[in-house]
């Protein structure tokens, strides 16, 4: 059973470009979460999605950031017109339906904005 | 200060010694979880303790939870060099989103 997969692992973008981060949850998991980690800090919740629905996006910046989890395919975190402050590690986690417990984390995507 | 604050921020001990890390939080919780993160890597889930539990063990790990004090501790016994990592507590208040602390950076010296 493969774990949570994220790609790319490293992404370099120039200011103003778009960044697309992908997350494939564990098999059988229908809940996906995105977190952001700035250097030397803990993870900060961004968004919680289920298939085709955004459940909680209270941690998402109001502008430039969007997330989706389509019926088919991976979850996508999209950052438009990136700025230097978007440089961080972005982690995806998944959990199975009907549980309130641990989340399984992917290896993360390290975004660097130059 | 934030929900889920770890203490100390950094801890350096000799191999074989025990390491204790503490976590405090502010709001009521459903469960509290501890994660490990090796440098530049993703998070590995260590242990989950529910709000109605007081203590839990897993191998060399022992976690306690005191809901009256809104605090938890993680004890790693007989530490090894491979335990060198950052350790985070994360609280779940029932909304399915985890709130992480800043972490404790643990260094095990051979």
pLDDT tens track for A5-58: 999 999 999 999 999 999 999 998 999 999 999 887 889 999 999 988 999 999
Altogether, the residues listed in chain B come to a count of 110
How far from chain centre, in Å, is Cα B32?
9
Nearest CA distance, A107 vs chain B (angstrom) = 4
Local confidence band at B96 (pLDDT 50, 70, 90 cut-offs):
confident
Q: How many CB pairs under 8 A join A and B?
A: 62
Instruction: Check residue B2 and give its pLDDT.
Output: 41
* Residue A69 scores a pLDDT above 90: yes
Instruction: Check residue B3 and give its pLDDT.
Output: 56
Instruction: Check residue A14 and give its pLDDT.
Output: 97
For B:54-93, CB contacts with A below 8 A are 88, 90, 92
Contact B49, B63 (CB under 8 A): yes
pLDDT in tens, B4-63: 678 888 999 999 999 999 999 999 999 999 999 998 788 999 999 999 999 999 999 999
Alpha-carbon Rg for chain A in angstroms? 13
The C-alpha atoms of residue A71 and residue A74 are separated, in whole angstroms, by 9
* Residue A97 scores a pLDDT above 90: no
Among chain A, residues having any CB pair with chain B shorter than 8 Å are 31, 33, 35, 41-45, 48, 55-56, 58-59, 91, 93, 95, 100-108, 110
Q: Is B34 on the interface with A (CB under 8 A)?
A: no
Nearest CA distance, B94 vs chain A (angstrom) = 7
Handedness of CA A69, A35, B23, B34 (dihedral sign): positive
Question: Terminus-to-terminus CA distance in chain A, angstroms?
Answer: 37
Other C-beta atoms lying within 10 Å of the C-beta of residue B101: 26
The C-alpha atoms of residue B29 and residue B61 are separated, in whole angstroms, by 21
DSSP 3-state assignment of B15? coil
Q: DSSP state, A25?
A: P
Tell me which chain B residue has its CA closest to the CA of residue A39: B40
Q: Do B88 and A100 touch (CB under 8 A)?
A: no
Q: Is B51 on the interface with A (CB under 8 A)?
A: no
CB-based contacts of B66, cutoff 8 Å, min separation 6: B54, B72
């Amino acid at each position: 059973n493969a774990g949570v997969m994220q790609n790319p692992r490293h992404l370099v973008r120039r200011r103003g470009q778009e960044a697309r981060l992908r997350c494939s949850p564990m098999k059988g998991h229908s809940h996906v979460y995105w977190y952001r980690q700035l250097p030397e800090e803990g993870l900060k919740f961004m968004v919680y999605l289920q298939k085709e629905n955004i459940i909680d996006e209270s941690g998402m910046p109001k502008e430039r950031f969007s997330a989706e989890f389509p019926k088919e395919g991976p979850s996508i975190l999209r950052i438009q017109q990136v700025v230097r402050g978007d440089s961080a590690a972005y982690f995806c986690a998944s959990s199975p339906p009907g549980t309130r417990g641990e989340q399984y984390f992917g290896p993360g995507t390290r975004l660097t904005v130059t | 200060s934030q929900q889920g604050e770890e203490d100390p921020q950094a801890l350096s001990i000799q191999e074989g010694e025990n390491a204790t890390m503490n976590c405090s939080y502010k709001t009521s919780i459903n469960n509290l979880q501890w994660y490990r993160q090796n440098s530049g890597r993703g998070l590995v889930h260590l242990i989950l303790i529910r709000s109605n539990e007081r203590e839990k063990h897993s191998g060399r790990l022992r976690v306690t939870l005191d809901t009256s004090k809104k605090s938890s501790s993680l004890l790693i016994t007989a530490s090894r060099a491979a335990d060198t990592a950052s350790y985070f507590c994360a609280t779940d208040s029932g909304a399915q989103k985890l709130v992480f602390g800043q972490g404790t950076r643990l260094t095990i010296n051979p």
